[in-house]
Amino acid sequence: MYENQPEGRQLKLRDLVEAMRRLGIAARLGRPQTSDVTDARGAPLAILSSDGMFLSANRSAAALLGYSSSDLVGLYLLDMAPDSERASLANLLSARASQEFHSFSTLLTGRTGRPTRLMLHQQAIAAHPEEDSAQLTLFEEPIDSDQPAANDAQGSESDARSRRMFLMIGQQRERQRLAADLHDGLGQALTLIKLMVEDARMRLRRGQADDAAQKLDATVLQIRETIAEMRQICGELRPLALERLGLPAALSTLCRRMDLSAENLSVKFQSDVDDHDVPEHLKADIFRVAQEALNNSLKHAAATEIRLALREVDGSLLLTVQDNGSGYDALPLSSHEIGSTGLGLIGMQHRVEAHGGFLSVHSSETSGTLVSASWEL
């Protein structure tokens, strides 16, 4: 799909990172509550073409609309709007063509068929001036207040109430995602296992021992896959290694596993930070950022050495991932990479900057890629 676009229109990783930073700044200035929308997998983000077609979407955006990420690709925003909203949405999409940042409210109907009022914040991704640019899009479920504050005290109380409401929305959305994962994943898998065991029991009663044994062997494989899926769901909530080992030891274990699993690759870890020195609310995000950065170096940088470091520098926590690869942040991205590498990296940026941190990515063909993330203590 997107690979067939002209060469000048191919997105680059550094363009996505910069677009995410500009979108975050503009959205927070326009609607301060935006940064309070929480989700264990990051903010609902997608990349849309100039005419509103989904080029990629992360899992949060897909779950918000009731789709999988792959199912969303190729769909148009206009096709999701109720008939009464399509003309208005078409005008909004057309009007934003001359604006680098654009926010608008619209009704969208997801797979459930229920129209939902959403606020869309769109930031143009770097492109040649004569071409239409893709749009990095943040989806938000707004809360409208018809009661303006009468004074500063009431305004502060109203802001605090709105923030709590946004937090509750994020928590509720996460509960819904977990319920869907448990029902569609583990629930269906356990139902299948039950049917397979019952089938094997019936075969045994009919004296078909060999057939029953084959069915039980297949059941064992299904049980293993279900256990792996359960561990994945638990790990997405909070990495088990953090609970068992603490952050520095968990990062060391992560590097050691990658070092052992990949040929011709050395992964080293250094840290002068104790686990109790790291604020509890940062630990999971630091681990996920390190994990994503290591995976990007492994998959895209063609590196033979990666160095991960966690240090305390001038009252701040500094996480760095340096590789000696070919540099990947300026490479054109295919449609698959837009969804994996691209949204993975801007998801990292959201994790870092949501807690007041700063993320930077620098790379070249000669010096490799350096990913740095810092948080004030």
H/E element, 141: none
33: confidence class by pLDDT, cuts 50, 70, 90: very low
pLDDT of residue 149: 43
Counting residues of the chain whose pLDDT is more than 70, the rounded percentage is: 71
8: confidence class by pLDDT, cuts 50, 70, 90: very low
319: confidence class by pLDDT, cuts 50, 70, 90: very high
Better pLDDT: 230 or 177? 230
The torsion of the CA quartet 298, 302, 304, 305, rounded to 10 degrees, works out to -60
Better pLDDT: 340 or 248? 248
| Spatial contact of 267 and 295, defined as CB atoms under 8 Å apart | no
pLDDT of residue 32: 45
Kindly tell me if the per-residue pLDDT of 170 is higher than 80. Answer: no
Give the long-range contacts of residues 14-18, CB within 8 A, separation 24 or more: 14/329, 14/330, 14/361, 15/125, 15/126, 16/47, 16/125, 16/136, 16/333, 16/338, 16/342, 16/343, 16/345, 16/346, 17/329, 17/345, 17/346, 17/349, 17/359, 17/361, 18/126
pLDDT mean over 324-340: 63
pLDDT mean over 331-344: 57
pLDDT of residue 352: 84
Q: pLDDT averaged over the chain?
A: 77
Token pair of 104 as six digits: 């608008």
Convert the pLDDT of each residue in 259-309 to its tens digit.
888 788 899 999 999 999 999 888 888 988 898 888 888 877 778 899 999
Least confident of 40-49, 62-71, 284-293, 338-347: 338-347
User: For residue 54, how far is the Cα from the chain centroid?
Assistant: 16
Please give the domain boundaries of the chain with CATH numbers for all domains. Answer: 2-142 (3.30.450.20), 145-237 (no CATH), 245-376 (3.30.565.10)
Token pair of 340 as six digits: 């994996």
41: confidence class by pLDDT, cuts 50, 70, 90: very low
Q: Which one of 37-51, 144-158, 335-349 scores highest in mean pLDDT? A: 37-51
| DSSP letter (8 states) at residue 182 | I
| Spatial contact of 145 and 157, defined as CB atoms under 8 Å apart | no
Least confident of 69-73, 214-218, 249-253: 69-73
Report how far residue 216's alpha carbon sits from residue 214's, in angstroms, rounded to the nearest whole number.
5
The H-assigned helical ranges of the chain are 13-30, 59-65, 69-72, 77-80, 83-95, 152-181, 188-205, 209-237, 240-245, 247-261, 280-300, 335-337, 343-354
Indicate the pairing of strand 305-313 with strand 266-271.
parallel
* Residue with tokens 């629930």, as numbered in its chain: 187
CA angle 162, 136, 56 (to 5 degrees): 110
Kindly tell me if the per-residue pLDDT of 5 is higher than 90. Answer: no
